[in-house]
Structure 1
Amino acid sequence: MSTIAFIGLGNMGRPMIGYLLKAGHQLRIYARRPEVYQNEAKHLVDAGAIPCASPAEAADGADFIITNVMSTQDVAEVLHAGKNSVIATAKPGAICIDHSTIDPQGTKEIAAIMAGKNVSYVDAPVSGGVKAATEGTLVMMLGGADADVAKVKEIVKNYAKTITHIGAVGHGQVAKLCNQIAQVINIQGVAESLRFAASNGADLQKVFEAISGGMAGSRMLDLMGPKMVGRDFKAGIEARLHAKDFFLVKDAAQAANLDMPALQTVARQLEKLMDAGWGYDDTSSLLKVLEA
């Protein structure tokens, strides 16, 4: 069994840690808020996870260092740029596994810095949200060297159902951003369809049933359609997280001078959603943006 440092004890990270503990690994965990160890993550500590005061303490002696935080800056901060970061204690030959969704170019830069300390890096963003993390059925996209990815798969198979090695470092993040483009544009399409139905006085449930069985059918329609029809905007996936990823890919597309008009339109809708204060609601709230 391996010694694993896990940094980021949010709604996604905690179930992952639980699966790793069940598999027999030794977990050294770090949360920026110390009270997490006595509150949200108490069950993990009770199960044997060792709470640590810094990323450096968590990484000391670890075979794998897993990060699951918010932004490119956050990943850099805990791995190499911050006080008491992982790079201070990570042993040569350790492998960093990053489940965050961040900038592909930033990923390459962080990996290069870690490589200077003989620490490998695999970007491993995930799809499926809290539900899939809890059920251990995440979809994972990996970027890294073949030998590193082979070792990483033995760890992440404990909580991922589908694991695909995309290519070199950074390509896992590229695949995740492709996932977000297709996913959120689809959600916007569902919202516009049901908004059009409502404006014409049609029964939304019957419209949903009709189109879900045809060529418009999709996983996102099956997920978001009932939420919009039932006006259940309680978060399955918080809109702020989709917005964060979407703004990231919008900036990357602009930097590459790519013409992506649907992306630009949906990004503006997400900006309106965030401005309305619905960031902690479900992304199905894009319907409310149209209504507003």
Structure 2
Amino acid sequence: MTNVAVIGLGIMGLPMAINLVKAGYTVTGFNRSQDKTDKLVADGGKGAASIAEAVKEADVVITMVPDSPDVEAVVSGDDGVFANAKKGALWIDASSIRPDVAARLAEDARAAGLRPLDAPVSGGEQGAIDGVLSIMVGGAAEDFAAAQDVLNAVGKTIVHVGPSGSGQTVKAANQLIVAVNIQALSEAIAFLEAYGVDTDAALKVLGGGLAGSKVLDQKGQKMLDRNFDPGFRLALHHKDLGIVTSAAREANVAVPLGAAVAQLVAATVNQGDGGLDHSGLFKQVLQQSGRK
């Protein structure tokens, strides 16, 4: 399988596509904004004027778009993936969407003769650039095995977690853990700053103990620097927490911390900060503390 189509060349999709080019695949990309397609072409890929054109020769189709309705839009209709991809192609949805939508679209994909995998990713923009994403994959075991080489080109920790929809369920759990960690780190840094502690030294020692985490490693300095350039936008985490709280309610699972952080993220987004990195949740803590 040498021909890969990537639909959605955003913060995550573009570096993933470039890493596939570097791995030796023939990569054709489609994106609504032409500049991202031009960037892929400059790095050795190909550009397409439509989804239909992008997927017509693809052995593997990867979709990486923001939300459930966006995935449905790119796979359905006369110009969509399902109507134009060749029979037997793998469809890997790397987007983060509702588990029930993922399972339903997997059924539609199979009816169209495709082999679906829901494979949301974690690791942010830098993880995508470095090709070290964590990928949680739902779908048939044989389809996962067939997709292994392609997934290895963009990720490092790649695990089959169950049938269709399971990847999205695990991703929702991932986003719950990350959001609560970002909130806790935000509160801790505000607390340290209020007491005039050497925050660089404090984060170094905290990172070496039980409080250490990838969130602390990757987001702590951004908070200290008040640098919230997006690696993963708050607006997208807001969407993901909506998935978490809705799915938890359907399963009769209590997520009190998740629900509280979801409201704090919502407030931050509603105040106009949805385009910031999710570490920008720190701004909400500072505001509530009367600090800058």
TM-score by length of 1: 0.91
Superposition pairs of residues 105-144 of structure 1, within 5 angstroms: 105-144=100-139
Q: Which region of structure 1 is more displaced relative to structure 2, 266-275 or 42-51?
A: 42-51
Aligned residue in 2 for 1:6: 6
Provide closer, same or farther for how the CA distance between residues 6 and 229 of structure 1 changes in structure 2, counting only shifts above 3 A: closer
- Show structure 2 runs of 5+ residues with no match: 288-292
Aligned residue in 1 for 2:183: 188
Post-superposition CA distance 1:138-162 (Å, at most 9, x none): 1111111111001111112112111
Note the aligned Cα RMSD (angstroms).
Answer: 1.9
Q: Distance in 1 between matches of 2:159 and 2:92?
A: 14
Q: Tell me if structure 1 keeps the 8 A contact 2:31–2:37.
A: no
Q: Is it true that 1:243 corresponds to 2:238 in the alignment?
A: yes
Q: Which region of structure 1 is more displaced relative to structure 2, 91-100 or 13-22?
A: 13-22
Aligned residue in 2 for 1:260: 255
AA at the equivalent of 2:5:
A
AA at the equivalent of 1:22:
K
Q: Distance in 1 between matches of 2:39 and 2:281?
A: 36
Once the two structures are TM-superposed, the CA of residue 129 in structure 1 deviates from its matched residue by 1.0
Provide closer, same or farther for how the CA distance between residues 32 and 43 of structure 1 changes in structure 2, counting only shifts above 3 A: closer
Q: Which region of structure 1 is more displaced relative to structure 2, 92-101 or 209-218?
A: 209-218
Q: Tell me if structure 2 keeps the 8 A contact 1:28–1:50.
A: yes
Q: Distance in 2 between matches of 1:148 and 1:20?
A: 19
Q: Tell me if structure 1 keeps the 8 A contact 2:18–2:45.
A: no
Once the two structures are TM-superposed, the CA of residue 83 in structure 1 deviates from its matched residue by 4.4
Q: Tell me if structure 2 keeps the 8 A contact 1:15–1:134.
A: yes
% identity of equivalent residues: 38
Provide closer, same or farther for how the CA distance between residues 280 and 43 of structure 1 changes in structure 2, counting only shifts above 3 A: closer
- SS across alignment from 1:280: coil
Post-superposition CA distance 1:209-252 (Å, at most 9, x none): 44333322222122222222333333333222222211221121
Q: Tell me if structure 2 keeps the 8 A contact 1:243–1:267.
A: yes
Residue number among 82, 86, 94 corresponding to 1:87 in the alignment: 82
Residue number among 61, 65, 72 corresponding to 1:65 in the alignment: 61
Superposition pairs of residues 4-43 of structure 1, within 5 angstroms: 4-33=4-33, 36=34, 39-43=35-39
Q: Distance in 2 between matches of 1:6 and 1:232?
A: 30
Residue number among 142, 147, 151 corresponding to 1:152 in the alignment: 147
Provide closer, same or farther for how the CA distance between residues 89 and 237 of structure 1 changes in structure 2, counting only shifts above 3 A: closer
Q: Distance in 2 between matches of 1:200 and 1:24?
A: 53
AA at the equivalent of 2:89:
A
Q: Which region of structure 1 is more displaced relative to structure 2, 245-254 or 67-76?
A: 245-254
Q: How many residues align?
A: 287
Q: Distance in 2 between matches of 1:217 and 1:22?
A: 33
- Show structure 1 runs of 5+ residues with no match: none
Q: Tell me if structure 1 keeps the 8 A contact 2:29–2:37.
A: no
Aligned residue in 2 for 1:217: 212
Superposition pairs of residues 269-280 of structure 1, within 5 angstroms: 269-280=264-275
Q: Tell me if structure 2 keeps the 8 A contact 1:235–1:281.
A: yes
Q: Distance in 2 between matches of 1:83 and 1:175?
A: 32
Q: Distance in 2 between matches of 1:208 and 1:153?
A: 37
Once the two structures are TM-superposed, the CA of residue 200 in structure 1 deviates from its matched residue by 4.4
